[in-house]
Amino acid sequence: MKLKYILLLFLTAMLINSCTEGKTSKTLRLAHGVDSQHPVHKGMVVLGESLDRISEGKLKVQIYPNGQLGGERESIELLQIGSLDIAKVSAGVLENFIQEYKVFSIPYLFRDKNHMHGICDGAVGKGILSKGKNFNLQGLTFYDAGSRSFYTKETPIKSPADLEDMKIRVMKSNTAIAMVNELGGAATPISYGELYTALQQGVVSGAENNIPSYFTSKHYEVCKYLSIDEHTSVPDVLVIGTEALSRLSDQEKKWLNQAVEESKVAQRKLWEASEKESLQKAIESGVQVFYPEKEPFQEATENLLNEFKEDPLLGELIESIQNN
């Protein structure tokens, strides 16, 4: 029923677009689940502005923020059937469709942010983006989503022992589930849009995410303990459906790729500023911030890394990332 409702919204939007847009312009529908104040959304605003400028108004983007059209998995399904053109989804959700994206959910795989960006922009990242045609999906670029850390309601996380039996919300990602379980917690997959209420009602005791998402989602109102352990660096991915891509001319594809590149550069700057601002505002609101030693967390999740290394496909990717 929910998917039918979303499709009805699209039909209405398409009718509105057909009445307001001239015959010489084409509009791509882009959906995502974050707040309009989030730096990832602002990066997509840059995408729309750049595309409008580059194409001289011939190719546009209509953004549906804040989960208006459903969660990330629903967005992927809409891409696959051609009812949505572009979506921003986490690499952690994409791994359920495309195995290669699992590498981004492996704890402590990346040395630092520069290492992460180099992988995303280089041969490894471009190779991963090219996967997914069997699922009617094509990656366009990686957006910076920072590093993920734990935040909790009752007690701070200073070591893996503090996670013992604690219900922690994770994305619907098998790798994220395995990571929290390895650390001794009880991983609980919950939709991002439902998490605030789940925290309020005590369904979960905490969650893990990047700092801007923690702040813009107002989770800091419920969870006053932020433990910056930076266990994973899971990027967001801008994905286009292959059906939507097939409707674009070669010239339109060039316009889109140029606009995507401009938005990626802008988004990284927006992200860096947002991380600092979000952390400062969270502290001012009464959040207590902790910086636990990372080594115990690394040791506790080492078995997970070794398991992935034994996988023929992922082992090769891990080696490329570690040697880069």
Domains defined for the chain, CATH in brackets: 2-145+235-276 (3.40.190.170), 148-233+286-323 (3.40.190.170)
Please write the tens of the pLDDT for every residue from 248-273: 999 999 999 999 999 999 999 999 99
Could you tell me which residues come within 8 angstroms of residue 39 by beta carbon, excluding any fewer than 6 positions away?
212, 267, 270, 271, 273, 274
**0.85 surpassed by pTM:** yes
The region, left, alpha or beta by phi > 0 then psi within -120 to 50, assigned to residue 260 is: alpha
- pLDDT, average across residues 159-165: 96
- pLDDT, average across residues 36-47: 95
Rounded to the nearest integer, the mean pLDDT of the chain is 92
Please write the tens of the pLDDT for every residue from 83-136: 999 999 999 999 999 999 999 999 999 999 999 999 999 999 999 999 999 999
Strand partners, 63: 30
Question: Between vectors from CA 179 to CA 178 and to CA 181, what angle results, nearest 5°?
Answer: 65
The pLDDT value given to residue 24: 75
Nearest to 37 by CA among 295, 289, 271: 271
- When pLDDT is cut at 50, 70 and 90, the band that residue 12 belongs to is very low
pLDDT higher than 90, residue 21: no
Could you tell me which residues come within 8 angstroms of residue 215 by beta carbon, excluding any fewer than 6 positions away?
278, 279, 281, 282
Q: Residue 144 gets which letter from DSSP?
A: P
Which alpha helices (DSSP H) does 95-141 contain, by range? Answer: 113-121, 123-129
pLDDT higher than 60, residue 3: no
Interstrand relation of 236-241 and 137-143 (parallel, antiparallel or unpaired): antiparallel
Please write the tens of the pLDDT for every residue from 300-314: 999 999 999 999 999
Helices 312-323 and 302-309 cross at an angle (nearest 10°) of 110
Could you tell me which residues come within 8 angstroms of residue 147 by beta carbon, excluding any fewer than 6 positions away?
113, 210, 230, 231, 232, 233
- When pLDDT is cut at 50, 70 and 90, the band that residue 22 belongs to is very low
- pLDDT, average across residues 172-179: 92
The pLDDT value given to residue 6: 53
- When pLDDT is cut at 50, 70 and 90, the band that residue 193 belongs to is confident
The pLDDT value given to residue 55: 98
